Amino acid sequence: MDAVKAALASQTIEVPSWAYGNSGTRFKVFGSPGTPRDPYEKIADAAQVNRFTGAAPRVSLHIPWDKVDDFTDLSNYATDLGVRLGVINSNVFQDDDYKLGSLTNADPRIRAKAIAHHVECLEVMRLAGSTELKIWLPDGTNYPGQDSIRARQDRLAESLAEIYSALQPGEQILLEYKFFEPYFYTTDVPDWGTSLIHCLAMGEQAKVVLDTGHHAPGTNIEFIVAQLLRLGRLGAFDFNSRFYADDDLIVGAADPFQLFRIMHEIVQAGALDPAVGVNFMLDQCHNIEDKIPGQIRSIMNVQEATAKALLVDVDALTAAQEGGRVLEANAVLMDAFNTDVRPLLAEVREEKGLNPDPMRAFAESGYLEQIAADRVGGTQAGWGA
pLDDT of residue 168: 98
pLDDT value of position 285: 86
Angle at 260 (CA atoms; ends 255, 263), nearest 5 degrees? 130
- 3-class SS of residue 145: coil
> Domain 2-374 is in which class?
alpha beta
Taking the C-alpha atoms of residue 90 and residue 142, their distance in angstroms, rounded to an integer, is 23
Q: Give the angle 23-137-305 at the CA atoms, nearest 5°.
A: 60
Residue 27 has a pLDDT of 82
User: Residue 154: what pLDDT?
Assistant: 98
Which ranges of the chain does DSSP label H, i.e. alpha helix?
A: 2-10, 39-53, 71-80, 108-127, 149-164, 192-202, 221-231, 256-268, 291-310, 314-322, 326-337, 342-351, 358-365, 367-374
Predicted pLDDT at 246:
78
The Cα 12–Cα 363 span in angstroms is 22
pTM, full prediction: 0.95
Domain assignments of the chain as residue spans, ordered by start: 2-374
What pLDDT is recorded for position 385?
52
Distance CA 278, CA 11 (A): 12
Residues of the chain where predicted confidence (pLDDT) is lower than 70: 384-385
List, in sequence order, every residue forming a beta bridge with 237; answer none if it has no partner: 210, 280
